[in-house]
Amino acid sequence: MRLSVEWIKEFVPTEASSEELARTLTMAGLEVEETIESEIGPVLDITVTPNRGDCLSAIGVARELCAIYSSPFPTIPNGVIVQPKKADYEISVAIEDIDLCSRYVARLVTNVRSKPSPDWMQKRLIAAGMRPINGIVDVTNYVMLETGQPLHAFDYEKLHGGRIIVRRAHKGETIRTLDGVERVLTEEMLAICDADHPVAIAGVMGGEEAEMNDFTKIMLLESAHFHPISIRRTSKKLNLRTEASYRFERFVDPESVGKAADRACQLISECGLGDVTTVLSDEYPVKIAHNRIIFRPARANTMLGYNIPKPELTKALANLGFESLGEQEDHITYSVPSWRPDIQREIDIIEEAGRIIGYDRIPERLPVGVTTQGRDTPIGKLSAKIRTGIAAVGLQEIVTHSLLSPGKMENDYPDGQRIEIRSALSSDLSGLRRSLLPGLMDVADRNARRGHLPLAFFEIGKVFHRTDQGYEESLAVGGIMAGAVAPRSWVRDDKHSDADFYMAKGIVEVVSRLCSVPDLQFCVSDDVRFHPGRSANILLGGKRIGVVGELHPELRKLHSIREKICFFELDLERLIDAGTKKQVFVSLSAYPVMVRDIAPRVEESIPYQQVLSSVKEVMPEILEKIEVTDVFTGSQIGEEMKSLTLSLTFRSPDRTLTDAEVNEALEKIRANLIQRCNARFAG
């Protein structure tokens, strides 16, 4: 809201500069965003919080300043000049729905003259960001800016039956509003009607039919109080926001309704825009009671955290218009001003006193007393560990947003349904991610296009699914890598190998070790986002908790990256559940290890997993560790054959092993490999 300083000062006896006013208002809660220069001096652009509808006017702002400066309250100027001539017209106002309209004032102005408003008024309107239209419209806008009360002017002769009926619209009633739009009203909306049909949407916008024009002779001026929630709902439903609805939905003081109408009549008269008549109606069926609140000065001191003498508190409240209805030893009963519906209970009064006295006086103290142990969440701790682990192997952490448009990569996601945003404003933000892949892919692609390397990223973030059970939200960790992950080096023997399936799988294994979940299973995946021969579902206890693989070449084509793109994703919450088991410590063996290599040759189609379980099946107690140190294929060992080198570590917890017993174990292992895997051994 913009108001010129000279206008505000009309109501506040102060010599303060515009900078001082801006600072004072800001520190009292009316934030001055900026001060703009205008023809009539500085103009303040004030942000009014949604609870302070009473400040949406020059008088409202002035009231705050007067409270701070301990000056008498500003009042709405009055002094209506009524033409002695009695008008030959009557107005009849009926409020049918008094729950939505507690007061309706109508005044009749005759001999309406179509002419512009005076220069001084136009300048104030322009400074406030409004366009001068004509005398009458400008006066209604001016009074709204001055008093906070929106007004509406009807062409009296266009009102059927000379009547105003305030009622809920009938089902299917329509009105063409001043913006030229035909609108269908519903039964929840309050309408201002003549004898036959709606002529305005109450508090929102007038209709074209009873609109004033250059030929209007008699004007009916409306000033009313409408129910804030009703106005807000109507304005939202019609998607029609106006200066009037903005103020009505923030509450307009019912006790100023008449004064604002009088003020408008005074200006109309003074500006020669018409003759104000004695014909008026003031329907005020429901008087809104002033809130009564008990205020304990001691409580104020407790809440604000320091001692404020009682007279200082009561003075601040009196300055704000709170009226004492009686004082007891430890409390005062206050009547709340009619323009402050936001003051509901004692704490609200404490805030009022506190802010007028000034928050700078609040001291700094630290809470004392027994309280909770400070700690991170279990998942927070685990995520921190995983982050550090993955970063240590060379992946850069990223954070991407969770909203995305449906796309190839998103559509191909195999699990559950996407959760859609209702009435999304743009397709880019139309749903929630089910996988971290699209976000990671975007970042990899963007950096690749900018020539930034390496392309190795990970993210820990929420993913969302709609399932038969409802909505699911879980924390996932995902990583993407393409091309060389290690930086280029001049050292010739540094391996400069490109990311592949095994790099992604290696990181999954790092994560599982960090979570103390050693027994993940990998099985062939049918996830269509990946290369069918180079992807795996990751299972934990038989349940799918993630995926690892090389991106399908068809998806890769959509991006600028030429190298193989590898990806993994894991459900962190399932991992943490599985990883919370306490590890039992087994005392360390004091005896030496014996390491033996075996190199079974098997058909290429036999997976390592099968070889591994054939070794484990024999399970000599002394076999401590199995490592695969080489996989070799080539014509030397036969077509469609591979040779695996397994390094087996033997150790006993209670004795030094002999060659003979290790050889015996090896023999058993070899025999089982021959039987289970049709393995052959050289020599």
Partner 1 sequence: MRMDGLDLLIAEALKDIETAQNLTELNQIEIKYLGSKGSLQAQMRTIGTLPKEDRPKFGARVNSSKESISQRLSSKRTELEGKELEERLNKERIDITLPGRAFPIGRLHPLTLTVQRVKEALIGQGYEFVDGPELEEYAYNFEALNYPEDHPAFDEMMTFYVDDTRLLRTQTTALQGRVMEKRKPPFRMATTGRCFRYEAVDATHHHTFHQVDVFMVDEGISMADLKGTLKQFASAMFGGNVQVRFRPDFFPFVEPGVDYSIFWEGRWLELGGAGLIHPNILESYGIDTERYSGFAFGLGIERIHMIQNGVNDLRLYLENDLRFLKHF
Pick out residues in 330-349 that bind partner 1 (CB under 8 A). Answer: 345, 347-348
CB-based burial label for 487 (10 Å; 0-12, 13-18, 19+): exposed
Among 182, 214, 364, 640, binds partner 1 (CB under 8 A): 364
Among 26, 134, 647, 649, binds partner 1 (CB under 8 A): 26
Q: Is 249 one of the binding residues for partner 1 (CB under 8 A)?
A: yes
Q: Considering beta carbons, is residue 29 or 546 the nearer one to partner 1?
A: 29
390-to-338, 386, 468, 511, 550 alpha-carbon distances in Å = 62, 6, 34, 7, 19
Cα 240 to Cα 342: distance, rounded to the nearest angstrom: 25
Residue of 186, 396, 417, 521 interacting with partner 1 (CB under 8 A): 396
Terminal CA-to-CA distance of the chain, rounded, Å?
93
Segment 640 to 679, residues that bind partner 1, using CB under 8 A: none
- Distant-in-sequence, close-in-space partners of 647: CB < 8 Å, separation ≥ 6: 595, 596, 597, 626, 627, 628, 629
- Helix (H) or strand (E) run with residue 553 in it: helix 553-556
Say how far apart CA 573 and CA 522 lie, in whole Å: 19
367 binds partner 1 (CB under 8 A): yes
Contacting partner 1 (CB under 8 A), which of 456, 517, 538, 669?
A: 456
Sorted by sequence, the CB contacts under 8 Å of residue 623 that are 6+ apart come out as 615, 648, 649, 650, 665, 669
Q: How many residues bind partner 1 (CB under 8 A)?
A: 95
Could you say whether residue 682 binds partner 1 (CB under 8 A)? Answer: no
Q: Is 186 in the site for partner 1 (CB under 8 A)?
A: no
**Residue placing its CB nearer to partner 1 in the complex, 359 or 681:** 359
Count of Cβ atoms closer than 10 Å to residue 249 Cβ: 24
Q: What are phi and psi of 313, to 5 degrees?
A: -65, -50
Q: Of 123, 290, 355, 434, which one interacts with partner 1 (CB under 8 A)? A: 355
Rounded Cα distance between 613 and 676, Å, is 9
Angstrom distance (rounded) from CA 420 to CA 220: 50
Among 37, 397, 415, 597, binds partner 1 (CB under 8 A): 397
**Site for partner 1, residues 99 to 118, rule: CB under 8 A:** none
Instruction: Please report how close the Cβ of residue 207 comes to partner 1 at its closest, in angstroms.
Output: 24
Choose one: 276-284, 483-491, 531-539, 650-658; the region binding partner 1 (CB under 8 A): 483-491
39 is an interface residue for partner 1 by CB under 8 A: no
Which of 285, 309, 380, 553 touches partner 1 by CB under 8 A? 380
Least spacing, CB of residue 26 vs partner 1, in Å: 7
Identify the helix (H) or strand (E) that includes residue 27: helix 18-28
Site for partner 1 contains 441 (CB under 8 A): no
Q: Which is nearer to partner 1, 485 or 644 (CB)?
A: 485
Sites for partner 1 among residues 487-506 (CB under 8 A): 487-491, 494
37 binds partner 1 (CB under 8 A): no
Residue 423 interacting with partner 1 (CB under 8 A):
yes
Should residue 131 be labelled a site residue for partner 1 when binding is judged by CB under 8 A? no
| Nearest-approach distance from CB 341 to partner 1, in angstroms | 10
What 3-state class would DSSP assign to 292? strand
Task: Indicate which single residue of 99, 188, 330, 473 sits in contact with partner 1 (rule: CB under 8 A).
Answer: 473
Report the residue from 20, 33, 36, 49 that binds partner 1 according to the rule CB under 8 A. Answer: 49
**DSSP per-residue letters across 125-143:** HHHTT-----HHHHHHHHH
Is the Cβ–Cβ distance between 439 and 410 less than 8 Å? Answer: no
Nearest-approach distance from CB 452 to partner 1, in angstroms: 4
Closest CA relative to residue 127, chosen from 146, 114, 147: 146
- Decide: is 400 part of the binding site for partner 1 (CB under 8 A): yes
Which of 456, 508, 507, 457 is CA-nearest to residue 485? 456
Hey, which residues between 512 and 531 contact partner 1 (CB under 8 A)? none
> Do 298 and 348 form a contact (C-beta atoms < 8 A)?
no
